[in-house]
């Protein structure tokens, strides 16, 4: 069990499937009172099955998000915010429509600003907390066609670093996670079997990442043992990226 999670509150965005769902399940198993947030209404049934609570919110709607987060945390602020909601994009730069660029930045970066602005003040008032923002290995070594996606994830790394500087004096740590290739629903339809084999070969461990690999790192960062880590962009890449 990760020390210090039991009885505390946590919120995970983009929690209806994939990595977000796995993170939420891990936090529940650690005894954390967990809220799953997603735009997909199916998150309600998923949360109920876990013994968690849920919020159906479009993070692009800042006003609605602020209102619902304030209502959900009234009198009992979150200890942990996991900003996991995101979208993937793979279009070559010269063919990239600016509407696609804007959508990727809005979901992958702007939504994190909205949730941190909504929840960080209560963490500060309560004496501390943890924020973990989902970046990607693409922030450090993207591939052709990932201009919008890689740029958004690099922005997450920078945003997290500055937030760590600003919130650290108040006992709030902020880190970003840079997963490598984790085969989830979001990216599965953009990769062939040959491409998956090529990525697998890049890891000294000889396998792709699993959602549980990411969830374990987040549980550590949220715990008392992770108290002295802040401002970091932590690779969870199986050795595919080492910088």
User: pLDDT at position 74, please?
Assistant: 77
At residue 188, the pLDDT reads: 56
Structural domain contains residue 4: no
- Separation in Å, CA 22 to CA 2, 28, 54, 211, 229: 16, 10, 15, 6, 22
Residue 96, CA atoms < 13 Å, CB-side half-sphere? 19
pLDDT (0 to 100) of residue 179: 97
Whether 149 is catalytic is yes
**Which single residue is written with the structure tokens 């399940």?**
25
pLDDT of residue 21: 98
pLDDT, tens digit, for every residue of 14-73? Answer: 999 999 999 999 999 999 999 999 999 999 999 999 999 999 999 999 999 999 998 887
The two tokens of residue 142 are 């993207």
**Would residue 3 count as lying in a domain?**
no
Helix/strand/coil percentages in the chain, nearest 5: 50, 15, 35
- 1 found inside a domain: no
Q: Which candidate in 79, 88, 149, 199 is catalytic?
A: 149
The total number of structural domains in the chain stands at: 1
**pLDDT the model gives residue 82:** 98
Alpha helices in 168-192, H assignment, sequence order: 185-188
Positive or negative torsion for Cα 192, 25, 40, 111: negative
- How far apart, in Å, are the Cα atoms of 189 and each of 195, 199, 241? 11, 15, 23
Which pTM does this prediction carry? 0.95
Interatomic CA distance for residues 137 and 166, integer angstroms: 25
Position 140 in a domain:
yes
Assess if residue 183 is contained within a domain: yes
Report the CATH number at residue 167: 3.40.50.720
Q: Does any domain span residue 241?
A: no
For 29, counting Cβ atoms within 10 Å of its Cβ (0-12 exposed, 13-18 middle, 19+ buried), the class is middle
Distances (CA, A) of 100 to 92, 93, 141, 221, 232: 12, 11, 21, 32, 28
With respect to residue 234, please indicate whether it lies within any of the assigned structural domains: no
2 within domain boundaries = no
Q: Per-residue pLDDT tens, the chain, 243 aa: give them.
A: 678 899 999 999 999 999 999 999 999 999 999 999 999 999 999 999 999 999 999 999 999 999 999 888 777 889 999 999 999 999 999 999 999 999 999 999 999 999 999 999 999 999 999 999 999 999 999 899 999 999 999 999 999 999 999 999 999 999 999 999 997 765 555 567 888 888 899 899 999 999 999 999 999 999 999 999 999 999 999 999 989
Beta bridge partners of 34: 10
Question: Is the CB of residue 159 less than 8 Å from the CB of residue 112?
Answer: yes
Q: How high is the pLDDT of residue 183?
A: 78
Whole domain around residue 27: which residue ranges? Answer: 9-228
């Amino acid at each position: 069990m990760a020390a210090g999670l039991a009885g505390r509150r946590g919120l995970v965005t983009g929690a209806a499937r994939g990595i977000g769902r796995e993170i939420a399940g891990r936090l529940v198993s650690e005894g954390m009172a967990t809220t799953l947030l997603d735009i997909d209404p199916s998150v309600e049934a998923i949360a109920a099955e876990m013994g968690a609570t849920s919020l159906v919110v479009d993070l692009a709607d800042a006003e609605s998000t602020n209102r619902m987060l304030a209502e959900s945390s009234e009198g009992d602020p979150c200890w942990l915010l996991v900003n996991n909601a995101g979208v993937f994009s793979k279009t070559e730069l010269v063919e990239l429509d600016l509407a696609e660029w804007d959508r990727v930045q809005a979901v992958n970066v702007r939504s994190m600003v909205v949730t941190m602005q909504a929840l960080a003040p209560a963490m500060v008032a309560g004496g501390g907390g943890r924020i973990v923002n989902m970046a990607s290995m693409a922030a450090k070594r993207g591939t052709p066609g990932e201009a919008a996606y890689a740029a958004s994830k690099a922005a997450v790394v920078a945003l997290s670093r500055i937030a760590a500087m600003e919130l650290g004096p108040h006992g709030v740590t902020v880190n970003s996670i840079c997963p490598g290739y984790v085969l989830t629903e979001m990216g599965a339809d953009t990769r062939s079997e040959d491409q998956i084999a090529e990525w697998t070969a890049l890891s000294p461990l000889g396998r792709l990442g699993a959602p549980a690999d990411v969830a374990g790192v987040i549980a550590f960062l949220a715990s008392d043992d992770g108290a002295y880590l802040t401002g970091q962009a932590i690779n969870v890449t199986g050795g595919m990226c080492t910088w």
